[in-house]
Structures are given as structure tokens and as C-alpha cells.
């Protein structure tokens, strides 16, 4: 009897243990599933980009248009700051020597936007930004509108025809090497704009940005300090005398202060495991810092020039999202048609109440490559 009771007790205990193990296994499985789902949901863009209206964004018939950055004013009007340059010249490299920043308006985020004015025109070769202004990034801090941008200059006469602006021309070489990041400030979104007579982020010898600084992606914090991701290139020994594109992060105590680069010795994402990147867009929320960039080689996203998403707590150490691809060059339009864009660059995200509501890209028709496009414009895409 004792043996039977012992065997019965053992069997009951065994069944209880099996139930406990099963419950623990189920809990772990549910936790892993929830954690994985949560991680996958950290990417607010992939799978949430809406359909594109054919008349969305901003374009101009006689100009190449690029680099859209949008802000909503006190009256609910949306203002796009963009780059433009004449179509009588080739797209590339004219933007480095003859671009100007303009402003356009729309009552809705998606547009279409209507041209209003030139914001930062050419102002003479003697100024660091005297020949070209490009890469606008608009923000507001307190009662001031803040416009970070890239500027360049050259000492030559203005080009007269397209044949002067080849990639190996002196215009391209000098215009590229003089690219620097600066800032302009205004009391109203309509200006007038006060431009500084020197850049806020210059090049520096023996660094990854000794040749140029460009692509500013600023984040103005509550205390007025600025954290900014940017693109740099180092000097090279042979034409075009520059390194591949490098990404840096810089800090300034206030908007008009000179920036200090926080990663002087080594660019971000320098490890061989990473791709080459450009066109950063930086923002911050309760979970930390987030960074969108263009994947130049498809190494991170599996698609040439698609968008890749990173996260950070301090701006120096970054981790790639569980779903790295933030957007594709294949866009779905309002009639259901899918179109692969020739180019899809310069991502900018408009946030309202802390949520992304619209993404803006510089885009181009054609099969890809600046030389193959016949039109460029800034496209607006809702985020669902």
C-alpha cells in the first residue's frame, strides 16, 4: 500500500511539475513574442507610409527642386523651405554652385505648396555662403525661427552655359570643397533672415571632415543647446580629392555658437559592418534619439538608397532598429499604381503632437542617377 501511495504521490507531483513547466514555457513564449512585436513596432514608418497624391509636395517648372523641410506656423499654415536651381544647367553639380533656398506655403501638410519667396539668395563670392545655399532644415525655438543650411562659394564668374558645369570642372571641385554648415535666424517664418558671416561648423584638418561639412540634421533642445548630425568628407590625394561620406555628431551650447564635434577621431558607423550613409534626419522622444539616413550601398536594408533607422541614448553609440528599413524607393500612389522613383533622398519628418504625420523626400523621375532624371521635386507622403 505504501508503495502504491508513493507511486501515486510521485505521479501527481510529476503532473504538477509538468503543468508548472508548461506554464513557464508559455509565459516565456508570450514574453518573447510580445518583446519581438514591441521591437518590430519601434519603426514608426515601415508599413505605415501612406499613398502619394500626384499633386503633393512642391515643384517648379523651370527649376530643379530638392531638400524639403516643413514647419507649421501659429495660424496653421505649412511652410516648406526648399532648395532650387535653374534647369538650364545640369542637376549635378549645379546645386553646389548655384542653389538658393526658397519658401513655399500650403494649408495642408501634403500640399501642393505654392512658391512665395527666395529666402537665402546668392550674396557674393566673399561670403562663405555667397554662391550657393542648400540643405535647409527649419525649426522654431522660443519666438525665433531657426534655419540651418549648407552654404558654399567660389571665386569664378557665374557660369553662362551647361558645358561649364561638368563633374570635373573647377566649379564643381571648388564648390564642393567650400561646403560648410551655417544658420540663419528670423522673428517670423517670412523673414527677414539674419545670416552669419561665418559657418557654425567648419572643416578641420586631420579629421573625417577636413574637406567639407554638409547635410545638417539639427535637434534644438529645451535649454537652447543643439545636437546635430552631419555629413563630412576628408581630403583625398586624387580627384575628386575627397573621401567617402562620413557621419558625425556635433554639439553647441546655443544656436549661434560654434559646434564641437563629439566624435573627432572616428566617424559614426565607421565599423566595416555598416554601410555608407548620408542625408541624416534626427529627432528625439521619450525613448531617446532616433536617426533616419539613406543606405548608400543596400548593406543595411537590402535596397539601394532605401532608408535605415537607428536609435541612441547619447548620440554617439547607435543601434540599428529590429526592422532596419524605414522606407523604400517603391511608392504607392493614390490610384494604386506603384512607381519606383529614380531618386528618393533628404528625408524629413513632420511631427504633430509627438507623432509623425507626413514624410517629405527630394525625388526624381527616371531610372536612377542624377544624369538620368528630367524633373526633380519634393514629394509629401502621409504617415498612417
Could you tell me the pTM of the whole model? Answer: 0.88
Residues 359 and 310 in one domain: yes
pLDDT at 32: 32
3-state secondary structure 264-286: CCCCECCCCCCCCEEEEEEEEEC
| Whether 262 contacts 315, CB under 8 Å | yes
The enclosing H or E element of 95 equals helix 91-98
Residues 4 and 144 in one domain: no
Residues 10 and 64 in one domain: no
- State the Cα–Cα distance between residues 102 and 227, nearest whole angstrom: 25
pLDDT at 169: 94
**Number of domains within the chain:** 2
pLDDT at 193: 99
Q: Which residue from 282, 249, 278, 246 is spatially nearest to 346, judged by alpha carbons?
A: 278
pLDDT digits 0-9 by tens, 201-256: 999 999 999 999 999 999 999 999 999 999 999 998 887 789 999 999 999 999 99
Ranges of the chain with pLDDT below 70: 1-41
| Whether 284 contacts 308, CB under 8 Å | no
- State the Cα–Cα distance between residues 136 and 143, nearest whole angstrom: 19
Residues 321 and 358 in one domain: yes
pLDDT at 20: 43
Residues 12 and 95 in one domain: no
Residues 256 and 143 in one domain: yes
Q: Residue 291 sits in a domain of what CATH number?
A: 2.115.10.20
pLDDT digits 0-9 by tens, 27-51: 333 333 333 333 334 799 988 999 9
Residues 225 and 333 in one domain: yes
* Domain that residue 27 falls in: 1-40
pLDDT at 235: 94
Residues 18 and 136 in one domain: no
pLDDT at 241: 85
- State the Cα–Cα distance between residues 357 and 236, nearest whole angstrom: 41
The 8-class DSSP code of residue 41 comes to: T
Amino acid at each position: 500500500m505504501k508503495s502504491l501511495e508513493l507511486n501515486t504521490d510521485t505521479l501527481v507531483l510529476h503532473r504538477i511539475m509538468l503543468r508548472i513547466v508548461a506554464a513557464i514555457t508559455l509565459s516565456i513564449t508570450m514574453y518573447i513574442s510580445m518583446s519581438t512585436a514591441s521591437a518590430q513596432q519601434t519603426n514608426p514608418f515601415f508599413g505605415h507610409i501612406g499613398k502619394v497624391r500626384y499633386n503633393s509636395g512642391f515643384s517648379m517648372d523651370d527649376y530643379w527642386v530638392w531638400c524639403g523641410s516643413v514647419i507649421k506656423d501659429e495660424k496653421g499654415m505649412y511652410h516648406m523651405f526648399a532648395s532650387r536651381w535653374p534647369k538650364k544647367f545640369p542637376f549635378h553639380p549645379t546645386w553646389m554652385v548655384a542653389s538658393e533656398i526658397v519658401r513655399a506655403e500650403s494649408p495642408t501638410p501634403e500640399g501642393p505648396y505654392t512658391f512665395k519667396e527666395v529666402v537665402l539668395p546668392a550674396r557674393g563670392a566673399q561670403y562663405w555662403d555667397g554662391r550657393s545655399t542648400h540643405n535647409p532644415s527649419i525649426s522654431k525655438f522660443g519666438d525665433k525661427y531657426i534655419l540651418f543650411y549648407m552654404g558654399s562659394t567660389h571665386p569664378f564668374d557665374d557660369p553662362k552655359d551647361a558645358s561649364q558645369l561638368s563633374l570635373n570642372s573647377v566649379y564643381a571641385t571648388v564648390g564642393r570643397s567650400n561646403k560648410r554648415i551655417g544658420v540663419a535666424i528670423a522673428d517670423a517664418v517670412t523673414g527677414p533672415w539674419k545670416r552669419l558671416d561665418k559657418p557654425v561648423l567648419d572643416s578641420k584638418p586631420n579629421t573625417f571632415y577636413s574637406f567639407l561639412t554638409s547635410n545638417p540634421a539639427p535637434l534644438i533642445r529645451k535649454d537652447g543647446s543643439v545636437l546635430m548630425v552631419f555629413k563630412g568628407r576628408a581630403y583625398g590625394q586624387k580627384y575628386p580629392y575627397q573621401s567617402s561620406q562620413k557621419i558625425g555628431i556635433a554639439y553647441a551650447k546655443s544656436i549661434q555658437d560654434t559646434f564641437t564635434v563629439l566624435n573627432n577621431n572616428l566617424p559614426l558607423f565607421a565599423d566595416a559592418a555598416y554601410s555608407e550613409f548620408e542625408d541624416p534626419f534626427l529627432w528625439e522622444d521619450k525613448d531617446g534619439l532616433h536617426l533616419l539616413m539613406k543606405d548608400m550601398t543596400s548593406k543595411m536594408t537590402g535596397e539601394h538608397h532605401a532608408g535605415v533607422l537607428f536609435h541612441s541614448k547619447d548620440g554617439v553609440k547607435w543601434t540599428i532598429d529590429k526592422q532596419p528599413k524605414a522606407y523604400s524607393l517603391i511608392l504607392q500612389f493614390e490610384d494604386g499604381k506603384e512607381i519606383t522613383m529614380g531618386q528618393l533622398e533628404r528625408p524629413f519628418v513632420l511631427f504633430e503632437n509627438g507623432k509623425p504625420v507626413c514624410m517629405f523626400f527630394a525625388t526624381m523621375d527616371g531610372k536612377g542617377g542624377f544624369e538620368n532624371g528630367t524633373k526633380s521635386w519634393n514629394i509629401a507622403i502621409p504617415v498612417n
